[in-house]
């Protein structure tokens, strides 16, 4: 960030159906099965947090081999791009490196944009995270956490290969830490027609804070609904992300009039007593005590928060872009 027990998909779908059906209680007799031709939403997959953490370890190793960091202008950043790009290409994504030719720090590496080549190309849901870090540490929570959760979701989508209703695009941004520069360049490079095709942008920046909470940008917006629905299903009672307002790449899209939302688990602000009572952790201490520091390593990750974030991304992706399936 610029300075500045989960339900399965099937269980979530069932609990949502029960909660919204008029007059149905938990003890009520189940409703009859829908007609054979009625479409139902496919269940979102359970994203393996162990696989997400393996990506974090890879990013940390890259940092260790490149002066201890992955700043946008560094070889550590470029190797991070290569790591993500190689896995996406092997999975069947159309992958593009977009050099930031104006507005970025001199020498900054490229944005990386990957599109799953299925679904309506005129109707796009975009999921993004910044891939760069600061020069003072390896940047594992900020923001290898969001980058890794996004990468594993992309790989799961490719393995599952569901029928797509809309197009899904993933992006890893450069030079966020110096002023949201990579995402702003991307948005400014879009034509008005291309901007209009993006139905919503979802951002993931710091999603594994060790003393974290559960925060959503634009919490009560239509764009936020699938993110909020998943965390609500876990009883997490997410809050508006006031700390992160205007401080990460969703702001570049918001300024262009594109609907946005985001997950975050907190940066340098301190957890309140009420939040500690609700989510656990230490009141009066930062959500991330290693924010922008050398100690932002793989030891600086709350695996539970990371897991809830990765699974919530999957839920949002499936609910927005995957085609309903006919009951057989």
Residues labelled catalytic: 176
> What is the SS3 assignment for the chain?
CCCCCCCCHHHHHHHHHHHHCCCCCCCCCCCCCCCCCCEECCCCCCCCHHHHHHHHHHHHHHHHCCCCCCECCCHHHHHHHHHHHHHHHHHCCEEEEECCCCCCCCCCCCEEEEEECCCEEEEEEEEEEECCECCCCCCHHHHHHHHHHHHHHHHHHHHHCCCECEEEEEEEECCHHHCCHHHHHHHHHCCHHHHHHEEEEEEECCCCCCCCCCEEECCCCCCCHHHHHHHHHCCCCCEECCCCCCCCCHHHHHHCCCCEEEEECCCCCECCHHHHHHHCCCCCCECCCCCCCCCCCCCCCCHHHHHHHHHHHHHHHHHHHECCEECC
E strand or H helix at 227: helix 225-233
Contact 314, 307 (CB under 8 A): no
d(CA 149, CA 114): 15
Nearest-10 crossing angle of helices 9-20, 303-321: 60
DSSP letters, 145-176, are: HHHHHHHHHHHHHHHH-PPBSEEEEEEEESSG
């Amino acid at each position: 960030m610029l300075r500045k027990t989960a339900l399965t998909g099937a269980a979530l779908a069932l609990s949502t159906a029960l909660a919204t059906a008029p007059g149905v209680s938990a003890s009520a007799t189940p409703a009859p099965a829908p007609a054979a031709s009625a479409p139902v939403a496919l269940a979102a997959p359970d994203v393996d947090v162990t696989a997400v953490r393996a990506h974090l370890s890879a990013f940390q190793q890259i940092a260790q081999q490149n002066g201890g960091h992955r700043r946008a202008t560094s070889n550590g950043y470029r190797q991070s791009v290569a790591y993500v790009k190689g896995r996406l290409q092997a999975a069947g994504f159309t992958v593009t490196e977009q050099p930031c030719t104006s507005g970025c720090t001199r020498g900054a590496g490229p944005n990386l944009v990957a599109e799953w080549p299925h679904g309506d190309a005129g109707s796009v849901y975009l999921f993004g995270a910044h891939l760069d870090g600061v020069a003072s540490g390896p940047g594992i929570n900020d923001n290898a956490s969001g980058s890794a959760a996004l990468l594993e979701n992309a790989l799961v989508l490719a393995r599952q290969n569901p029928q797509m209703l809309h197009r899904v695009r993933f992006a890893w941004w450069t030079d966020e830490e110096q002023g949201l520069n990579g995402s702003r360049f991307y948005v400014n490079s879009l034509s008005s027609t291309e901007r209009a095709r993006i139905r919503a942008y979802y951002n993931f920046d710091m999603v594994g804070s060790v003393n974290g909470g559960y925060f959503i940008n634009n919490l009560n917006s239509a764009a936020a609904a699938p993110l909020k629905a998943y965390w609500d299903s876990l009883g997490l009672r997410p809050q508006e992300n006031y700390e992160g307002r205007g401080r990460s790449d969703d702001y570049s899209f918001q300024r262009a009039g594109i609907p946005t939302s985001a997950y975050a688990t907190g940066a340098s602000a301190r957890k309140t007593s009420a939040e500690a009572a609700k989510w656990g952790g230490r009141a009066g201490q930062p959500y991330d005590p290693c924010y922008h520091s050398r100690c932002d390593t793989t030891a600086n990750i709350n695996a539970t928060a990371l897991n809830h974030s990765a699974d919530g991304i999957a839920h949002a992706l499936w609910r927005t872009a995957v085609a309903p399936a006919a009951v057989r």
